[in-house]
Structure 1
Amino acid sequence: MKAKVTVMLKDGVLDPQGEAVRHALSAMGFDEVEGVRQGKLIELDLAKGTTEADIVAMCEKLLANTVIESYRIEM
């Protein structure tokens, strides 16, 4: 079984990497980009019987810093 976890900074948290990407795109002539938020995608290959609750526990304990990041799970 596979699961995808998308981790993003919460709204209101500064995203210096996203801002650097936005600035670089602007310098390349892509002025239509008004904002960029950068995150990470984690793909998990899971053993049969792994539950969504198990994945939530993984996110809460390791994969996301829940103080400043949110996450979304896709099974």
Structure 2
Amino acid sequence: MQISGRKIGEEETVVHVVVNVMPKAEILDPQGQAVVRALGRIGVTGVTDVRQGKRFELEVDSSVSREDIEKVAETLLANTVIEDFEVIVEAGE
């Protein structure tokens, strides 16, 4: 399955892809816990959990398939033992 995006000039099509990487639910997130503790110190209440992750933004041409992007996410961007990832292909402009 090819992904489609916006035309640049006459030939090249560029697609904006976002890959979100988050710790798996069962994995302890010490950075998120530190944020929750800090919120109380600055007077913010009501936030019961924070999970910290990573966001990658890729610009790819239309020859790159969703499967290719998922392979990149799985092998380079996320440690799939402890992290989950989500691929979002943003609509062309």
The normalised TM-score by structure 1 is: 0.95
Please identify the structure whose Cα radius of gyration is greater. 2
Aligned to 2:82: 68
Aligned to 2:62: 48
Identical columns (%) = 44
Higher relative contact order structure (alpha carbons within 8 Å, sequence separation ≥ 6): 1
Higher-helix-fraction structure: 1
Structure 1 position 48, deviation (Å) = 2.1
List gaps (5 residues or longer) in structure 2.
1-14
TM-score, structure 2 as length reference: 0.78
Gaps of 5+ in 1: none
- Structure 2 match to 1:10: 24
The alpha-carbon deviation at position 18 of structure 1 amounts to: 0.4
